[in-house]
């Protein structure tokens, strides 16, 4: 016979204002199976918990119902209390009379009746509760980091320093990401390369890190602690074990006019190339879409075309017949750190976005974006760090910077703030003024958002010490007139239209998610927002976890992030994973689906509807080893307990532990409808 204790919480005034907790406790006292019922001001407080423990000891309770807030809030607390008193924690349940009752009602009498009803349903449910045991699953203490930008490098280094084995996968031929393209960084103006390249080398040489550059994640299977990842090693056309990075091949390549991606089209590269001198690993790659040999091969020309790179290579490392290679790695946790791309200002746009035809980007050569300006300002850039116009190589004496190009403009399809632009535009004006002393920097801004340590001071320095002119307002159009670019804008502070003759215009374009991020997110079963940014599990309390256990997120693939943010997120993700790896086994809540193999007909409807891929096939054999039937089996490590399979099963052979049909029916019957 059940001996149930009911504990009704006032939650200060939160519940007691609209629900008569004493009356609820009194009504429940007479309910069959209830041997103890009382109310208290704060059940979750130490004295409240002591009341529960005392009643359990005195009355020998077989189950506990706490009528209080949402189970999300305090289920763990009260189950711990039950457990400490020797009761299986899953025999303790919560009746939510706060979010589901007191907070949403005003009529005290009727709210009290409803609170009693809610509590009674849970009392009826708990009569059928079974003692459940925590699930334990093994952990593979290796981590996969996807993306070799600053976030990925930081996560990999922190993990590796913590003793974990790390696999770092980067889709480009070198790690470094966007940060390697930057000239100097805000708010300290330290050189980006100088602080990044040592970390790149460290990641490459770390004994615990295996770097796979020019590789992508092809498929992900498994679950927290036990992922199987297929990695595609794209064909570099270089034998990595032979190449010593001498660069002789790039010297002789005849195709020298290809716009360099690293220099944002402002510089040129060859068809076999190393993206930048400090590349890690320092290995060239053949661009098969540009190399004459591969183009000829694609056109089915059998004659031998150009093999100058192979001829120049003293080590025979050039391999024109190299194929993509697939390998499988077993890891326990994954960090997604795939970074961002910039919004393209021009006319052609992906679905859902619109361009700025009025800014002439792509038609006026001296209208460039922020990343292009970084390349111009970079000492290793196409101009050797001199600010020169792309059109005629002259030094521009007036540069106009436009903030919020794309960002905060729902008309163009991007309503969010890209966060970094206010600061990097301030930095650009300073870099420009430090290089061109008689130059004039004009900034059109909407708001100056400089929230961050030292950020406001930095922006003020740009204005007060370096004389950047900030005009609050938008620019309606840019057009070329002779040698200058006419900037037609509106100064909303003076209320006057302004026309500025600029010699160069820099557009601070919005940050967008990487192309192909949706496909990767689907492989990892993590959710993403309408802009393609990976969703964190909780915007405040779980910022680097995703909705899939064991998959973490760091850097600008989650939202626009600057370098300090990205690094902080990466370290946070690494510490989460090191915490995960500190145990040999993971503990999981046992509220997962179970299949009754004797009832299961093997239709596998459950397998098709399971969003987590938790349903497996189990062969039932008799004693002689003859196959009797194939039934469904739920992998408790993967199952998230959503119950979709239970609702789908035609033979009612799947049940969600802790939420069985019997328990749900008992709850419904208790309502006496």
Partner 1 sequence: MRIGYYPGCSMHGTSREFDESLQQVARAIGAELQEIDDWSCCGSSSAHPVSRRLAVALAARNLALAEAQGLEEVVAPCAACYNRLAGARHAVAEDPALAREMPAILGRPFANGVAVRNVVQLLRASAPAIGQKISRPLKGLKVACYYGCLLVRGEGVAEFDDTEQPTSMEEVVKACGATPVKWNMAVECCGGSFSISRTGSVVRLGRVILEDARKAGADLVLVACPMCHSNLDFRQQAMMRRGESGMPILFITELVGLSLGLNGRPLGLERHFVSTAPVLAKLADAAGQPQKEAH
Q: What residue ranges bind partner 1 (CB under 8 A)?
A: 347, 356-358, 360, 363, 477, 479-482, 486
Cβ closest to partner 1, residue 244 vs residue 363: 363
| Alpha-carbon gap, residue 178 to 340, rounded angstroms | 8
Q: How far is the CB of 266 from partner 1 (least distance, A)?
A: 23
The nearer residue to partner 1, 275 or 489, going by C-beta atoms, is 489
Alpha carbons 433 and 236: distance in angstroms, whole number: 41
Nearer Cβ to partner 1, position 358 or 619? 358
Distance CA 160, CA 180 (A): 22
Q: How far apart are CA 307 and CA 345, in angstroms?
A: 39
Tokens of 428: 């650009």
Strand partners, 619: 630
* C-beta closer to partner 1: residue 284 or 413: 413
Task: State how far the Cα of 673 lies from the Cα of 671, in Å rounded to an integer.
Answer: 5
Residue 481 beta carbon to partner 1: minimum distance, rounded to whole angstroms: 7
Q: 132 exposed, middle or buried (CB, 10 Å; 0-12, 13-18, 19+)?
A: middle
Per-residue HEC secondary structure of 361-418 comes to ECCECCEEEHHHHHHHHCCCCCCCCCCCCCCCCCCCCEEEEEEEECCCEHHHCECCCC
| Residue 355 C-beta: closest distance to partner 1, Å | 8
Q: How many CA atoms lie within 13 A of 602 on its CB side?
A: 9
Q: Which is nearer to partner 1, 139 or 404 (CB)?
A: 404
In the complex, the smallest distance separating the C-beta of residue 412 from partner 1, rounded to whole angstroms, is: 12
Cα separation of 94 and 64, whole Å?
8
Min dist CB 357 to partner 1, Å, is 3
Query: Which residues, other chains included, contact 223 with Cβ-Cβ below 8 Å and sequence gap of 6+?
Result: 137, 549, 550, 612, 614, 635, 637, 638
Report in angstroms how near the CB of residue 484 gets to partner 1 at its nearest. Answer: 12
Residue closer to partner 1, measured from CB, 212 or 356 = 356
> Residue 353 Cβ, how far from partner 1 at the closest point, in Å?
14
Our CB check for partner 1 shows the closer of 479 and 604 to be 479
Question: Quick one: 251 or 363, whose CB is closer to partner 1?
Answer: 363
Q: Are 231 and 268 in contact (CB under 8 A)?
A: no
Q: What angle do CA 442, 445, 451 make, to 5 degrees?
A: 115
The stretches of 259-395 forming alpha helices (DSSP H) are 292-298, 308-312, 370-377
Alpha helices per DSSP H over 511-590: 517-524, 563-581
The DSSP string of 518-536 is HHHHHHHT--B-TTSPBPP
Contact criterion met (CB below 8 Å) for 129 and 94: no
Please, are residues 248 and 314 in contact by the beta-carbon 8 Å criterion? yes
Q: How far is the CB of 582 from partner 1 (least distance, A)?
A: 56
Q: Rounded CA gap, 437 and 115, in Å? A: 74
How far apart CA 48 and CA 658 sit, in angstroms, is: 25
End-to-end CA distance of the chain: 26
Report in angstroms how near the CB of residue 480 gets to partner 1 at its nearest.
7
Q: Which is nearer to partner 1, 272 or 345 (CB)?
A: 345
Closer residue to partner 1 (CB): 415 or 518: 415
C-alpha span between 112 and 108 (Å, rounded): 6
Contact at 8 Å (CB) between 249 and 272?
A: yes
State in angstroms the smallest separation of the CB of 641 from partner 1: 44
Q: In angstroms, what is the minimal distance from the CB of 359 to partner 1? A: 8
The nearer residue to partner 1, 358 or 529, going by C-beta atoms, is 358
Q: How far is the CB of 479 from partner 1 (least distance, A)?
A: 4
Q: Which is nearer to partner 1, 354 or 538 (CB)?
A: 354
Nearest residue (CB) to partner 1, 55 versus 478: 478
Smallest gap from Cβ 533 to partner 1, in A, equals 26
């Amino acid at each position: 016979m059940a001996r149930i204790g009911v504990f009704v919480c006032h939650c200060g005034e939160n519940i007691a204002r609209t629900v008569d907790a004493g009356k609820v406790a009194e009504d429940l006292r007479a309910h069959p199976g209830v041997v103890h019922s009382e109310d208290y001001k704060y059940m979750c407080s130490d004295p409240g918990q002591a009341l529960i423990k005392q009643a359990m000891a005195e009355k020998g309770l077989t189950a506990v119902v706490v009528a209080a807030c949402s189970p999300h809030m305090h289920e763990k607390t009260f189950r711990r209390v039950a457990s400490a008193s020797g009761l299986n924690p899953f025999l303790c349940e919560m009746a939510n009379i706060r979010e589901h009752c007191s907070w949403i009602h005003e009529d005290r009498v009727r709210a009290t009746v409803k609170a009693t009803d809610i509590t009674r349903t849970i009392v009826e449910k708990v009569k059928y509760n079974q003692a459940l045991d925590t699930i334990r699953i093994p952990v593979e203490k290796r981590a996969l980091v996807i993306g070799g930008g600053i976030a990925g490098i930081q996560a990999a280094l922190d993990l590796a320093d913590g003793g974990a084995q790390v696999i770092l996968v980067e889709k480009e031929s070198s790690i470094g990401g966007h940060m390697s393209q930057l000239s100097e960084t805000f708010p300290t103006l330290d050189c980006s390369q100088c602080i990044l390249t040592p970390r790149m080398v460290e990641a490459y040489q770390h004994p615990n890190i295996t770097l796979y550059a020019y590789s992508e994640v092809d498929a992900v299977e498994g679950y927290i602690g036990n992922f199987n990842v297929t990695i595609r090693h794209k064909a570099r056309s270089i034998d990595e074990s032979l190449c010593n990075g001498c660069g002789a091949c790039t010297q002789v390549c005849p195709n020298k006019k290809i716009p360099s991606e690293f220099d944002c089209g402002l510089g040129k590269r060859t068809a076999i190339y190393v993206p930048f001198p400090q590349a890690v690993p320092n290995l060239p790659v053949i661009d098969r879409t540009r190399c004459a040999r591969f183009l000829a091969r694609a056109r089915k020309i059998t004659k031998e075309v150009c093999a100058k790179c192979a001829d120049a290579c003293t080590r025979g490392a050039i391999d024109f017949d190299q194929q993509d290679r697939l390998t499988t790695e077993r890891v326990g946790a994954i960090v997604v750190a795939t970074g961002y791309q910039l919004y393209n200002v021009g006319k052609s746009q992906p679905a859902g976005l619109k361009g700025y035809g009025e800014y002439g980007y792509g038609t006026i050569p001296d209208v460039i974006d922020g990343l292009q300006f970084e390349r111009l300002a970079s000492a290793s850039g196409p101009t050797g760090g001199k600010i020169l116009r792309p059109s005629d190589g002259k030094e521009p004496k007036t540069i106009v910077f436009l903030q919020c190009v794309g960002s905060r403009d729902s008309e163009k399809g991007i309503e969010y703030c890209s966060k970094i632009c206010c600061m990097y535009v301030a930095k650009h004006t300073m870099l420009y003024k430090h290089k061109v002393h008689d130059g004039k920097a004009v900034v059109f801004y909407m708001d100056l958002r400089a929230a961050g340590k030292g950020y406001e001071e930095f922006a003020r320095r740009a204005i007060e010490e370096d004389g950047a002119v900030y005009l609050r307002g938008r620019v309606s159009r840019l057009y070329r007139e002779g040698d200058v670019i006419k900037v037609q804008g509106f100064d909303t502070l003076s209320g006057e239209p302004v026309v500025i003759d600029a010699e160069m215009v820099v557009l601070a374009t919005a940050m967008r998610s990487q192309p192909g991020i949706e496909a990767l997110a689907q492989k990892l079963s993590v959710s993403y927002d309408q802009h393609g940014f990976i969703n964190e599990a909780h915007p405040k309390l779980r910022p680097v976890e995703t909705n899939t256990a064991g998959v973490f997120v760091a850097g600008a693939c989650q939202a626009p992030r600057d370098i300090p943010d990205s690094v902080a997120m990466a370290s946070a993700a690494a510490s989460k994973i090191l915490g995960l790896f500190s145990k040999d086994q993971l503990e999981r809540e046992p509220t997962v689906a179970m299949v009754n193999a004797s009832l299961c007909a093997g239709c596998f409807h459950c397998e098709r509807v399971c969003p987590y891929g938790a349903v497996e096939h189990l062969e039932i054999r008799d004693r002689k080893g003859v196959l009797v039937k194939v039934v469904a089996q739920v992998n408790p490590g993967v199952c998230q307990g959503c119950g979709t399979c239970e609702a789908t099963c035609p033979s009612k052979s799947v049940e969600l532990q802790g939420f069985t049909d019997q328990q749900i029916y008992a709850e419904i019957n208790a309502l006496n409808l």
